[in-house]
């Protein structure tokens, strides 16, 4: 491996480690270019790296982490890459992260979220038609958790809000994109996997329960 390739791999690894959200190949390339434009000679050596070069560096890091058994892995999620704990270490992480706290998503929340994800953009009334119950409280909770957001207004009478999923939704369930989502069962499986890997404390906060509490249809839009 050339010196530049080794340096690129090290820098890419540091960026993925430091990022608070999944980091895309394009995002890493922009970061390399911005650092070079700042005038640092060391940064200029990597300014010409292409996305294919960065992808190769990510793949090399993934292989090295797997061989080293470091306890964490690189995964592609929501259009980018992030570091995650090794699923094989879930038993210990559940105890570390206080497995007793009940903060996983509830079944009503998962079912509602699946409807939004599969049928978006969708109105609250359309969601309730599918579920057969009021979803006011569940939708409020999902919006507070930034898993669902307002994406527009319907042309139906009254022009009710339409809802869709957020980038955080993809990150929470470890999905590369919505095309990977097949059914509500898949969300349940993903949530169970999250509990097994990191314990409930690592999942999204406070489960949502089905209720009848009213929320105005014209509630302000969440900035997700």
Cβ-contact 137, 213 below 8 angstroms: yes
Number of domains in the chain: 2
> Tens of pLDDT along 68-92?
988 888 988 888 999 988 888 877 8
pLDDT at residue 211 greater than cutoff 60: no
pLDDT of residue 162: 94
What sign has the CA pseudo-torsion 116, 165, 224, 160? negative
pLDDT of residue 44: 84
Q: How confident is the model at residue 208 (pLDDT cuts 50, 70, 90)?
A: very low
- pTM, full prediction: 0.52
Same domain, 97 and 149: yes
Instruction: State the residue range of the domain holding 161.
Output: 87-224
Same domain, 51 and 151: no
Q: Which of 24, 53, 85 is the last residue of a domain?
A: 85
Better pLDDT: 198 or 152: 152
pLDDT of residue 203: 38
pLDDT of residue 98: 61
For 24-33, what is the mean pLDDT? 92
Please report, rounded to a whole number, the percentage of residues in the chain having pLDDT higher than 70. 77
Both tokens of 206, joined, read 């406070």
Q: Identify the three-state secondary structure at position 81.
A: strand
pLDDT of residue 47: 83
Read off the DSSP letter of residue 104: S
For 193-204, what is the mean pLDDT? 50
Q: Which of 85, 111, 145 is the last residue of a domain?
A: 85
Same domain, 71 and 144: no
73's CB contacts (< 8 A; 6+ apart) are 62, 65, 66, 83, 84, 85, 86
Same domain, 65 and 110: no
pLDDT at residue 8 greater than cutoff 60: yes
Instruction: Find the CATH number of the domain harbouring 25.
Output: 1.10.10.10
How many Å apart are CA 29 and CA 53, to the nearest integer? 10
Same domain, 62 and 117: no
Residue 28 pairs in a beta bridge with none
> Tens of pLDDT along 98-139?
644 445 788 888 889 988 988 889 999 999 998 889 998 899
């Amino acid at each position: 491996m050339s010196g530049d390739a080794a340096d690129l791999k090290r820098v890419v690894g540091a960026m993925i480690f430091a990022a608070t959200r999944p980091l895309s190949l394009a995002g890493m390339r922009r970061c390399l270019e911005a650092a070079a434009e700042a005038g640092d000679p060391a940064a200029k050596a990597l300014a010409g790296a292409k996305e294919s070069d960065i992808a190769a560096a990510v793949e090399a890091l993934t292989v090295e982490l797997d061989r080293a058994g470091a306890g964490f892995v690189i995964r592609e999620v929501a259009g980018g890459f992030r570091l995650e704990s090794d699923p094989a270490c879930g038993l210990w992480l559940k105890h570390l992260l206080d497995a007793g706290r009940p903060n996983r998503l509830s079944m009503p929340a998962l079912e509602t979220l699946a409807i939004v994800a599969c049928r978006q953009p969708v109105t609250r009334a359309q969601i309730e038609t599918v579920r057969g119950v009021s979803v006011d409280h569940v939708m409020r909770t999902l919006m507070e958790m930034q898993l669902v957001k307002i994406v527009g207004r319907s042309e139906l009478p009254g022009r009710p809000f339409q809802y869709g999923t957020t980038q955080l939704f993809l990150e929470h369930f470890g999905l590369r994109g919505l095309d990977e989502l097949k059914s509500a069962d898949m969300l349940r499986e993903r949530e169970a996997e999250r509990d097994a890997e990191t314990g409930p404390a690592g999942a999204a906060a406070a489960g949502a329960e089905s209720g009848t509490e009213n929320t105005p249809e014209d509630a302000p839009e969440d900035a997700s």
